[in-house]
Chains A and B, each alone.
Chain A
Amino acid sequence: MNDSSRGRRGWPNWLETLRPDEITRARLKRSIADAAAPLLSARQLTWWEVASDWASLLTPVAAAAAVLFAGLALGDRPVARSEVTVAESPEVPRLEEFIDWASAEELPAAFPEDSLTSLDVVLTSITTDP
């Protein structure tokens, strides 16, 4: 089996003769660097865009969470507080007053005096008829 570190210890002579000269090396390095620059920049942008994408994903989630918590906070307010407010308002009649008013004025209108009399007549006629 070959030794993987041979390449770092130096090349055999026949390969050394194929090694590029300094001018070729410099030209190659420059052309590779020029061609690679936009690709490397795009990779940096890609990472930035990934971060931006996460931010854009999390923003609506955070907004939805804020709305949810606000809703929950409002829902936790005691219901009795609003009843007290209504009961203490001088313009709104209390429940007992409303019932008194209904029994005194609405019920006689619903059951007029004549209807009770007619019923007595009917019952009398039934009992006296042979």
Chain B
Amino acid sequence: MDPVDEPTLVRRVQSGDEAAFGALVERYLDSGFVAAMAVLGNSHDAEDAVQNAFIRALERIDQLQPGSPFGPWFYRVLRSTALNLRRREVLRSHEEIPASASMGSNPAKELDRGMTRDMILDALAELPEMQRMAVTLYDLEGYSHREIAGILGTAVGTSRAHVHHGRKALRNRLGEQSFPANEEEWKDEARR
């Protein structure tokens, strides 16, 4: 889906178009789930957060300024929903079931994927929430620091610092091979 179509989709959703809402869900389902995983740390709560965020977004879609992109606004709603979910202490205390349990085409590979995912979630859990969200949105959507700052409600410089420190911490934890520095970070390092 071309992002330039989002304002049109939003207008159609505002008039109750089911297909347009389905297109927005299709576009942001995976990335929303990953962002919620980064904040909440397990897939069951991430599912709840994503579902609630889409419904809250639908309820409030009239608040979205005409012509504005849906994505950054949706991530603001999603982050707020996830933080509320965590704040109310309704997080389940069950053990995370690896995604491999429901797949099974290549159990060894899926088990390895599950372990890697647990490692990543553990590494993310050690970061402050703002850094987690900033790094995830930066790598997930390729948002600019200005867009990330808008989502997090911080200054642009703060967003830049969150991404820098977050990526550096993840690289230290996961290793250079699984978390390579990007071009901008190399430039930042060179400047220091």
Which residues of A pack against B, CB within 8 Å?
1-9, 11-15, 17-25, 27-29, 31-33, 35-37, 39-47
Contacts and interface: CB of A to CB of B under 8 A. Distances in A.
Given A4-B141, A17-B120, A21-B99, 17 more contacts: A1-B144, A7-B141, A12-B139, A15-B34, A17-B113, A18-B33, A18-B117, A20-B47, A20-B99, A24-B47, A31-B51, A32-B50, A32-B51, A33-B25, A36-B18, A40-B13, A46-B16
Contacts, number: 123
B65 interface: no
B33 A2 contact: no
A91 B31 CA distance: 97
Interface in B117-134: 117, 120-121
Interface stretch (B52-60, B76-84, B87-95): B52-60
B172 to A, nearest CB: 13
Contacts of B16: 40-47
Nearest to B59: A39
A36 B21 contact: yes
Q: Taking each of A12, A17, A47, which has the highest tally of chain B beta carbons within 10 Å of its own beta carbon?
A: A17
Contact of A28 (B38, B47, B102, B170): B47
Given A1-B144, A28-B50, A40-B18, A15 B33 contact: no
